């Protein structure tokens, strides 16, 4: 069939195919470039978000080591905040910080704030007793884990307890 087509038509068809292939290649290159730019923007956003989270984690860990924050409150806050870390900073909190997670697990369902005021005194005292027992039993391990958290985050601040040693 090609033998019956004039050479000009074949050349024109080849030129059209070459043009379309070139255009498709250009579009593919643009798509790759756009995908890479979106990936870079996403990674930058994740880094910025992680930095804000880490800043909060550092403040809570330091305040707890300096006994300005209760262990139970720190366990709850750290678990909730660190659960939002992304990318290479993402951690398996229960596995990496088992003492903090154990305390979190003990106190997570206990009423706090105004809700605590509405429960009967006897129940409130039972919760307090369970919380204090867990805090006492886990205190040393939690302090060690708080130091590990500060090392993990690369904290720019240093706990007062380590300055005195």
Whether 124 is in a domain gets the answer yes
Whether 163 is in a domain gets the answer no
pTM confidence score:
0.71
Whether 148 is in a domain gets the answer yes
Whether 57 is in a domain gets the answer yes
Whether 162 is in a domain gets the answer no
- HSE toward the beta carbon, residue 80, CA cutoff 13 A: 11
Whether 83 is in a domain gets the answer yes
pLDDT, tens digit (0-9, with 9 covering 90-100), for 20-77: 999 999 999 999 999 999 999 999 999 999 999 999 999 999 999 999 999 999 999 9
Instruction: Domain of residue 89: give its range.
Output: 16-153
Nearest Cα to Cα of residue 127 among 139, 117, 138, 137: 117
Q: Tell me the C-alpha distance between 149 and 164, whole Å.
A: 20
- HSE toward the beta carbon, residue 81, CA cutoff 13 A: 21
| Confidence at 14, pLDDT banded by 50, 70, 90 | very high
**pLDDT for res 74:** 95
Whether 11 is in a domain gets the answer no
């Amino acid at each position: 069939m090609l033998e019956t087509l004039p050479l000009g038509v074949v050349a024109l068809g080849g030129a059209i195919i070459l043009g379309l292939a070139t255009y498709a290649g250009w579009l593919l290159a643009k798509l790759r470039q756009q995908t890479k730019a979106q990936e870079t923007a996403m990674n930058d956003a994740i880094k910025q978000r992680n930095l804000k989270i880490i800043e909060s984690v550092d403040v809570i860990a330091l305040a707890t080591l300096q006994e300005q924050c209760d262990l139970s409150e720190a366990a709850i806050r750290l678990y909730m905040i660190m659960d939002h870390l992304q990318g290479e900073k993402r951690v398996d909190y229960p596995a990496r910080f088992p003492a903090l997670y154990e305390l979190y697990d003990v106190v997570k369902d206990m009423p706090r704030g105004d809700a605590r005021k509405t429960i009967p005194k006897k129940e409130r005292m039972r919760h307090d007793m369970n919380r204090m027992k867990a805090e006492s039993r886990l205190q040393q391990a939690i302090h060690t884990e708080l130091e590990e958290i500060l090392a993990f985050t690369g904290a720019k601040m240093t706990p007062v307890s380590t300055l005195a040693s």
